Copies of this chain bind each other. A is one copy, B any other.
Amino acid sequence: MLDLIRSLVISGETKIVFLSSDGLGGLPRPETGRSELETARLPHLSRLATEAACGLIRHVAPGITPGSGPGHLGLFGYDPLHYQVGRGVLEALGIDFELGAGDIAARGNFCTVDASGRITDRRAGRIPTETCVRLVERLRQIRLPGVEVLVEPVKEHRFVLVLRGSGSGSRLSETDPQVLGKPPLPVRALDDASRRTAEIVNAFVDEARRRLADAAPANMILLRGFDQRPDLPPFPDVFGLRAGAIAAYPMYRGLARLVGMEVLKTGATFADEVATVRQHWASYDFFFLHYKDTDKAGEDGDFDAKVAALERLDAFVPEIRDLGPDVLVITGDHATPSVLAAHGWQPVPALLWSRYCGADPVTAFTERACATGTLGVLPAHHLMPLVMANALRLTKFGA
Protein backbone atom coordinates (compact mmCIF):
# COMPACT_ATOMS: atom_id res chain seq x y z
CA MET A 1 0.00 0.00 0.00
CA LEU A 2 2.78 2.48 0.87
CA ASP A 3 4.42 1.65 -2.46
CA LEU A 4 1.17 2.44 -4.24
CA ILE A 5 0.87 5.78 -2.45
CA ARG A 6 4.48 6.65 -3.19
CA SER A 7 3.94 5.93 -6.88
CA LEU A 8 0.99 8.34 -7.03
CA VAL A 9 2.45 11.28 -5.08
CA ILE A 10 2.58 14.61 -6.92
CA SER A 11 4.08 17.81 -5.61
CA GLY A 12 1.99 20.69 -4.37
CA GLU A 13 1.88 23.83 -2.29
CA THR A 14 -0.85 22.65 0.06
CA LYS A 15 -0.44 22.61 3.83
CA ILE A 16 -1.61 19.88 6.16
CA VAL A 17 -2.10 20.07 9.93
CA PHE A 18 -2.55 16.70 11.62
CA LEU A 19 -3.50 17.04 15.26
CA SER A 20 -3.38 13.97 17.50
CA SER A 21 -5.20 14.50 20.76
CA ASP A 22 -3.77 11.67 22.81
CA GLY A 23 -6.34 9.26 24.25
CA LEU A 24 -9.09 11.36 22.62
CA GLY A 25 -11.95 8.85 22.66
CA GLY A 26 -13.91 8.09 25.81
CA LEU A 27 -16.94 6.33 27.18
CA PRO A 28 -20.19 7.55 28.76
CA ARG A 29 -20.12 8.29 32.45
CA PRO A 30 -22.79 5.94 33.85
CA GLU A 31 -24.53 8.73 35.81
CA THR A 32 -25.26 10.80 32.71
CA GLY A 33 -24.90 8.44 29.75
CA ARG A 34 -22.64 11.03 28.10
CA SER A 35 -18.98 10.64 27.23
CA GLU A 36 -16.27 13.24 27.89
CA LEU A 37 -16.67 14.58 24.32
CA GLU A 38 -20.45 14.66 24.77
CA THR A 39 -20.15 16.48 28.09
CA ALA A 40 -17.60 19.13 27.09
CA ARG A 41 -18.63 22.43 25.52
CA LEU A 42 -16.79 22.32 22.20
CA PRO A 43 -18.22 25.07 19.95
CA HIS A 44 -15.23 25.23 17.62
CA LEU A 45 -14.84 21.49 17.23
CA SER A 46 -18.59 21.14 16.63
CA ARG A 47 -18.44 23.73 13.89
CA LEU A 48 -15.41 22.06 12.36
CA ALA A 49 -17.12 18.65 12.52
CA THR A 50 -20.12 20.17 10.75
CA GLU A 51 -17.88 21.33 7.91
CA ALA A 52 -15.66 18.23 7.87
CA ALA A 53 -15.90 14.56 6.97
CA CYS A 54 -16.10 12.55 10.18
CA GLY A 55 -15.69 8.96 11.24
CA LEU A 56 -14.15 6.60 13.73
CA ILE A 57 -10.54 5.45 13.54
CA ARG A 58 -9.52 1.91 14.43
CA HIS A 59 -5.77 1.67 14.96
CA VAL A 60 -4.94 -2.02 15.12
CA ALA A 61 -7.94 -4.34 14.88
CA PRO A 62 -11.34 -4.69 16.54
CA GLY A 63 -10.98 -5.24 20.27
CA ILE A 64 -7.24 -4.55 20.30
CA THR A 65 -6.13 -1.73 22.59
CA PRO A 66 -3.27 0.18 20.97
CA GLY A 67 -0.21 1.31 22.84
CA SER A 68 1.10 4.76 21.89
CA GLY A 69 3.55 3.24 19.44
CA PRO A 70 1.09 1.27 17.29
CA GLY A 71 -1.47 4.07 17.72
CA HIS A 72 0.81 6.69 16.21
CA LEU A 73 2.30 4.44 13.53
CA GLY A 74 -1.26 3.88 12.32
CA LEU A 75 -1.94 7.63 12.18
CA PHE A 76 1.31 8.14 10.28
CA GLY A 77 0.06 5.71 7.61
CA TYR A 78 1.87 2.52 8.65
CA ASP A 79 -0.08 -0.66 9.34
CA PRO A 80 0.88 -1.27 12.98
CA LEU A 81 0.48 -5.04 12.64
CA HIS A 82 3.04 -5.01 9.85
CA TYR A 83 5.47 -2.54 11.45
CA GLN A 84 5.94 -3.53 15.05
CA VAL A 85 8.05 -1.53 17.47
CA GLY A 86 9.54 -3.34 20.46
CA ARG A 87 9.15 -2.17 24.02
CA GLY A 88 12.84 -1.45 24.46
CA VAL A 89 12.73 0.84 21.43
CA LEU A 90 9.63 2.64 22.75
CA GLU A 91 11.29 3.12 26.14
CA ALA A 92 14.29 4.70 24.42
CA LEU A 93 12.05 6.92 22.29
CA GLY A 94 10.23 7.95 25.46
CA ILE A 95 13.38 9.60 26.83
CA ASP A 96 14.35 11.21 23.52
CA PHE A 97 17.23 8.78 23.10
CA GLU A 98 18.32 8.74 19.44
CA LEU A 99 18.57 5.09 18.49
CA GLY A 100 20.88 4.41 15.59
CA ALA A 101 20.44 1.61 13.07
CA GLY A 102 21.66 -1.60 14.71
CA ASP A 103 21.32 -0.30 18.26
CA ILE A 104 19.65 -2.88 20.50
CA ALA A 105 17.45 -1.41 23.22
CA ALA A 106 15.88 -3.07 26.25
CA ARG A 107 13.68 -1.96 29.10
CA GLY A 108 15.42 -2.24 32.43
CA ASN A 109 14.02 -2.42 35.94
CA PHE A 110 15.98 -2.23 39.14
CA CYS A 111 14.66 -5.02 41.37
CA THR A 112 15.36 -6.53 44.79
CA VAL A 113 16.82 -10.01 45.30
CA ASP A 114 17.45 -11.86 48.57
CA ALA A 115 20.75 -13.39 49.71
CA SER A 116 20.23 -16.45 47.48
CA GLY A 117 19.46 -14.28 44.44
CA ARG A 118 15.67 -14.76 44.42
CA ILE A 119 13.51 -11.81 43.44
CA THR A 120 11.57 -10.27 46.35
CA ASP A 121 10.39 -7.08 44.58
CA ARG A 122 10.29 -6.73 40.79
CA ARG A 123 10.32 -2.92 41.06
CA ALA A 124 12.77 -2.43 43.95
CA GLY A 125 10.06 -0.63 45.95
CA ARG A 126 9.82 1.96 43.15
CA ILE A 127 13.01 3.76 44.21
CA PRO A 128 13.05 7.53 43.66
CA THR A 129 14.27 8.69 40.27
CA GLU A 130 17.37 10.25 41.91
CA THR A 131 18.41 6.82 43.19
CA CYS A 132 17.85 5.42 39.72
CA VAL A 133 20.10 8.12 38.24
CA ARG A 134 22.83 7.36 40.80
CA LEU A 135 22.70 3.57 40.23
CA VAL A 136 22.65 4.00 36.45
CA GLU A 137 26.05 5.70 36.93
CA ARG A 138 27.34 2.40 38.34
CA LEU A 139 25.97 0.44 35.36
CA ARG A 140 27.62 2.90 32.98
CA GLN A 141 31.00 1.80 34.33
CA ILE A 142 30.51 -1.66 32.86
CA ARG A 143 32.80 -2.32 29.91
CA LEU A 144 32.29 -5.26 27.59
CA PRO A 145 34.48 -6.28 24.66
CA GLY A 146 33.34 -5.33 21.14
CA VAL A 147 30.25 -3.37 22.09
CA GLU A 148 29.37 0.07 23.41
CA VAL A 149 27.11 -0.11 26.47
CA LEU A 150 24.77 2.85 27.03
CA VAL A 151 22.49 3.11 30.07
CA GLU A 152 19.93 5.87 30.60
CA PRO A 153 17.66 6.46 33.59
CA VAL A 154 13.93 6.77 32.88
CA LYS A 155 11.83 7.16 36.04
CA GLU A 156 11.72 5.51 39.46
CA HIS A 157 13.02 1.92 39.00
CA ARG A 158 13.10 2.06 35.18
CA PHE A 159 16.07 2.53 32.86
CA VAL A 160 17.03 1.84 29.26
CA LEU A 161 19.94 -0.34 28.15
CA VAL A 162 21.33 0.18 24.65
CA LEU A 163 23.98 -2.01 23.07
CA ARG A 164 25.70 -0.30 20.15
CA GLY A 165 27.90 -1.84 17.51
CA SER A 166 27.51 -5.52 18.38
CA GLY A 167 26.53 -6.32 14.78
CA SER A 168 24.39 -9.06 16.22
CA GLY A 169 20.62 -9.70 16.40
CA SER A 170 18.07 -8.67 18.99
CA ARG A 171 15.78 -11.71 19.21
CA LEU A 172 16.28 -12.49 22.90
CA SER A 173 14.18 -13.93 25.71
CA GLU A 174 13.59 -11.82 28.81
CA THR A 175 15.30 -12.06 32.19
CA ASP A 176 12.14 -11.22 34.16
CA PRO A 177 10.53 -14.47 35.38
CA GLN A 178 7.37 -12.38 36.12
CA VAL A 179 7.00 -14.00 39.56
CA LEU A 180 8.56 -13.50 42.96
CA GLY A 181 10.74 -16.11 44.68
CA LYS A 182 12.72 -17.03 41.57
CA PRO A 183 16.08 -15.72 40.38
CA PRO A 184 16.26 -13.63 37.19
CA LEU A 185 16.53 -15.82 34.11
CA PRO A 186 19.56 -15.84 31.87
CA VAL A 187 18.85 -14.42 28.43
CA ARG A 188 18.50 -16.92 25.57
CA ALA A 189 18.97 -16.16 21.88
CA LEU A 190 15.75 -16.87 19.95
CA ASP A 191 17.63 -17.12 16.64
CA ASP A 192 21.19 -17.83 15.54
CA ALA A 193 21.90 -14.22 14.61
CA SER A 194 21.27 -13.14 18.22
CA ARG A 195 23.65 -15.57 19.97
CA ARG A 196 26.42 -13.09 20.43
CA THR A 197 23.98 -10.50 21.84
CA ALA A 198 22.76 -13.06 24.38
CA GLU A 199 26.35 -13.58 25.59
CA ILE A 200 26.89 -9.83 25.87
CA VAL A 201 23.65 -9.31 27.81
CA ASN A 202 24.38 -12.17 30.21
CA ALA A 203 27.85 -10.75 30.84
CA PHE A 204 26.28 -7.32 31.48
CA VAL A 205 23.78 -8.78 33.97
CA ASP A 206 26.53 -10.67 35.85
CA GLU A 207 28.58 -7.51 36.11
CA ALA A 208 25.49 -5.50 37.18
CA ARG A 209 24.79 -7.98 40.00
CA ARG A 210 28.32 -7.47 41.34
CA ARG A 211 28.19 -3.68 41.11
CA LEU A 212 24.77 -3.42 42.76
CA ALA A 213 25.36 -5.99 45.54
CA ASP A 214 25.37 -3.32 48.28
CA ALA A 215 22.60 -1.18 46.74
CA ALA A 216 19.53 -2.87 48.26
CA PRO A 217 16.61 -2.51 47.64
CA ALA A 218 17.87 -1.94 44.08
CA ASN A 219 20.47 -4.72 44.16
CA MET A 220 19.70 -6.39 40.84
CA ILE A 221 18.24 -5.69 37.37
CA LEU A 222 15.65 -7.22 35.05
CA LEU A 223 15.75 -6.74 31.27
CA ARG A 224 13.03 -7.24 28.69
CA GLY A 225 11.65 -6.04 25.38
CA PHE A 226 14.92 -6.33 23.42
CA ASP A 227 14.53 -4.84 19.97
CA GLN A 228 16.02 -2.65 17.27
CA ARG A 229 14.53 0.25 15.34
CA PRO A 230 12.10 -1.14 12.80
CA ASP A 231 13.01 -0.62 9.19
CA LEU A 232 10.28 1.80 8.12
CA PRO A 233 10.03 3.48 4.73
CA PRO A 234 10.53 7.15 5.71
CA PHE A 235 7.37 9.24 5.89
CA PRO A 236 8.81 12.16 3.85
CA ASP A 237 9.79 9.75 1.06
CA VAL A 238 6.52 7.84 0.96
CA PHE A 239 4.26 10.89 1.05
CA GLY A 240 6.57 13.44 -0.58
CA LEU A 241 6.03 15.82 2.33
CA ARG A 242 8.37 18.02 4.30
CA ALA A 243 7.10 16.86 7.66
CA GLY A 244 7.63 18.65 10.97
CA ALA A 245 6.58 17.18 14.32
CA ILE A 246 5.70 19.28 17.33
CA ALA A 247 5.24 17.50 20.64
CA ALA A 248 6.01 18.59 24.18
CA TYR A 249 6.42 14.97 25.32
CA PRO A 250 9.49 12.96 24.33
CA MET A 251 7.65 9.71 23.42
CA TYR A 252 5.79 11.39 20.58
CA ARG A 253 8.86 13.23 19.33
CA GLY A 254 10.55 9.84 19.30
CA LEU A 255 7.77 8.19 17.32
CA ALA A 256 7.79 11.04 14.78
CA ARG A 257 11.58 10.77 14.47
CA LEU A 258 11.24 7.01 13.99
CA VAL A 259 9.29 7.56 10.76
CA GLY A 260 11.70 10.26 9.61
CA MET A 261 9.84 13.46 10.46
CA GLU A 262 11.86 16.46 11.58
CA VAL A 263 11.25 17.19 15.23
CA LEU A 264 10.82 20.93 15.82
CA LYS A 265 11.94 22.49 19.07
CA THR A 266 8.99 23.67 21.11
CA GLY A 267 7.93 24.60 24.64
CA ALA A 268 6.11 22.73 27.36
CA THR A 269 2.56 23.86 26.62
CA PHE A 270 0.14 23.36 23.75
CA ALA A 271 0.18 27.15 23.21
CA ASP A 272 3.93 26.79 22.65
CA GLU A 273 3.29 23.96 20.20
CA VAL A 274 0.80 25.99 18.15
CA ALA A 275 3.21 28.93 18.14
CA THR A 276 5.89 26.57 16.81
CA VAL A 277 3.63 25.56 13.93
CA ARG A 278 3.08 29.23 13.06
CA GLN A 279 6.78 29.99 13.27
CA HIS A 280 7.67 27.17 10.82
CA TRP A 281 4.60 27.54 8.59
CA ALA A 282 6.54 28.31 5.43
CA SER A 283 9.10 25.54 5.83
CA TYR A 284 6.94 22.41 5.99
CA ASP A 285 4.04 20.82 4.11
CA PHE A 286 2.85 18.63 6.97
CA PHE A 287 2.68 19.42 10.66
CA PHE A 288 2.14 16.67 13.21
CA LEU A 289 0.88 18.33 16.36
CA HIS A 290 0.44 16.38 19.59
CA TYR A 291 -1.86 17.27 22.51
CA LYS A 292 -1.23 15.23 25.64
CA ASP A 293 -3.69 16.51 28.27
CA THR A 294 -6.66 14.39 27.14
CA ASP A 295 -4.72 11.17 27.70
CA LYS A 296 -3.29 12.26 31.04
CA ALA A 297 -6.73 13.04 32.47
CA GLY A 298 -8.16 9.78 31.08
CA GLU A 299 -5.33 7.71 32.55
CA ASP A 300 -6.00 9.36 35.91
CA GLY A 301 -9.64 8.30 35.60
CA ASP A 302 -10.57 11.97 36.00
CA PHE A 303 -13.66 12.50 33.83
CA ASP A 304 -13.98 16.21 34.68
CA ALA A 305 -10.30 16.87 34.01
CA LYS A 306 -10.65 15.21 30.61
CA VAL A 307 -13.68 17.36 29.85
CA ALA A 308 -11.64 20.43 30.80
CA ALA A 309 -8.71 19.26 28.66
CA LEU A 310 -11.06 18.91 25.68
CA GLU A 311 -12.45 22.40 26.26
CA ARG A 312 -8.90 23.82 26.39
CA LEU A 313 -8.13 22.08 23.10
CA ASP A 314 -11.33 23.46 21.57
CA ALA A 315 -10.20 27.00 22.39
CA PHE A 316 -7.11 26.52 20.18
CA VAL A 317 -9.09 25.49 17.10
CA PRO A 318 -9.64 29.05 15.76
CA GLU A 319 -5.93 29.79 16.04
CA ILE A 320 -5.07 26.62 14.13
CA ARG A 321 -7.67 27.35 11.44
CA ASP A 322 -6.32 30.91 11.11
CA LEU A 323 -3.02 29.45 9.94
CA GLY A 324 -4.93 28.56 6.77
CA PRO A 325 -4.23 24.82 6.37
CA ASP A 326 -5.61 23.21 3.23
CA VAL A 327 -6.24 20.02 5.17
CA LEU A 328 -6.89 19.82 8.89
CA VAL A 329 -7.20 16.47 10.66
CA ILE A 330 -8.12 16.05 14.31
CA THR A 331 -8.13 12.59 15.85
CA GLY A 332 -6.23 10.56 18.45
CA ASP A 333 -3.84 7.63 18.77
CA HIS A 334 -6.23 5.57 20.92
CA ALA A 335 -9.11 6.03 23.35
CA THR A 336 -8.42 6.64 27.03
CA PRO A 337 -11.87 6.45 28.61
CA SER A 338 -11.92 7.97 32.09
CA VAL A 339 -14.10 5.08 33.30
CA LEU A 340 -11.33 2.66 32.28
CA ALA A 341 -8.47 4.87 33.56
CA ALA A 342 -6.39 3.22 30.85
CA HIS A 343 -6.03 2.99 27.08
CA GLY A 344 -9.12 1.47 25.47
CA TRP A 345 -9.90 -0.52 22.33
CA GLN A 346 -12.77 1.75 21.26
CA PRO A 347 -12.47 3.40 17.85
CA VAL A 348 -11.58 7.10 18.08
CA PRO A 349 -13.44 10.07 16.57
CA ALA A 350 -11.75 11.67 13.60
CA LEU A 351 -12.50 14.67 11.46
CA LEU A 352 -10.90 15.56 8.16
CA TRP A 353 -11.55 19.05 6.85
CA SER A 354 -10.63 20.37 3.41
CA ARG A 355 -12.38 22.12 0.51
CA TYR A 356 -12.94 18.66 -0.96
CA CYS A 357 -13.88 16.54 2.05
CA GLY A 358 -17.48 16.12 0.96
CA ALA A 359 -20.91 16.38 2.52
CA ASP A 360 -21.35 14.68 5.89
CA PRO A 361 -24.29 14.54 8.30
CA VAL A 362 -22.17 14.94 11.45
CA THR A 363 -22.55 18.14 13.48
CA ALA A 364 -20.71 17.24 16.70
CA PHE A 365 -17.27 15.88 17.42
CA THR A 366 -18.31 12.93 19.58
CA GLU A 367 -18.01 9.15 19.45
CA ARG A 368 -21.74 8.76 18.78
CA ALA A 369 -21.97 11.47 16.14
CA CYS A 370 -18.82 10.40 14.29
CA ALA A 371 -20.21 6.85 14.05
CA THR A 372 -22.58 8.18 11.41
CA GLY A 373 -19.94 10.03 9.38
CA THR A 374 -18.83 9.39 5.83
CA LEU A 375 -15.38 8.18 6.87
CA GLY A 376 -17.06 5.14 8.45
CA VAL A 377 -14.94 3.05 10.76
CA LEU A 378 -11.56 3.52 9.16
CA PRO A 379 -8.29 1.67 9.82
CA ALA A 380 -5.91 4.36 11.04
CA HIS A 381 -3.38 3.72 8.28
CA HIS A 382 -6.05 4.47 5.65
CA LEU A 383 -6.30 8.04 6.92
CA MET A 384 -3.03 9.35 5.45
CA PRO A 385 -3.98 8.42 1.86
CA LEU A 386 -7.25 10.35 2.39
CA VAL A 387 -5.28 13.29 3.77
CA MET A 388 -3.01 13.21 0.73
CA ALA A 389 -5.98 13.09 -1.64
CA ASN A 390 -7.63 16.05 0.09
CA ALA A 391 -4.34 17.95 -0.21
CA LEU A 392 -4.48 17.27 -3.99
CA ARG A 393 -1.15 15.49 -3.70
CA LEU A 394 -2.06 12.15 -5.29
CA THR A 395 -2.60 11.59 -8.98
CA LYS A 396 -5.08 9.05 -10.22
CA PHE A 397 -4.40 5.32 -10.32
CA GLY A 398 -4.58 3.97 -13.84
CA ALA A 399 -5.31 6.11 -16.84
Number of copies: 2
Q: Mark A45-85, 1 if CB is under 8 A from B, else 0.
A: 00000000000100011111111111100000000110011
A344 at the interface (CB under 8 A from B): yes
Tell me, rounded to whole Å, the shortest Cβ–Cβ distance linking A224 to chain B: 11
- Whether the Cβ atoms of B399 and A67 lie closer than 8 Å is yes
Closest residue of B by beta carbon distance from A28: B359
- Whether the Cβ atoms of B366 and A61 lie closer than 8 Å is no
- Whether the Cβ atoms of A340 and B359 lie closer than 8 Å is no
Q: How far is the CA of A85 from the CA of B397 in the complex (A)?
A: 10
- Whether the Cβ atoms of A399 and B90 lie closer than 8 Å is yes
Tell me, rounded to whole Å, the shortest Cβ–Cβ distance linking A395 to chain B: 7
Q: How far is the CA of A394 from the CA of B346 in the complex (A)?
A: 13
Besides A33-B359, A35-B358, 13 new A-B residue pairs in contact (Cβ under 8 A), listed by A number: A4-B64, A27-B359, A28-B358, A62-B383, A63-B388, A63-B389, A64-B394, A64-B396, A64-B397, A67-B398, A91-B399, A337-B356, A361-B372
Q: Mark A26-39, 1 if CB is under 8 A from B, else 0.
A: 01101001110010
- Whether the Cβ atoms of B359 and A63 lie closer than 8 Å is no
- Whether the Cβ atoms of A385 and B68 lie closer than 8 Å is no
Q: A345-B386, A385-B63, A394-B65 are in contact. Are A367 and B358 (CB under 8 A)?
A: yes
16 A-B contacts, Cβ less than 8 Å apart?
A: A4-B81, A27-B359, A28-B359, A35-B359, A56-B374, A61-B382, A63-B394, A64-B396, A65-B397, A67-B396, A70-B397, A80-B398, A340-B356, A343-B396, A345-B386, A359-B368
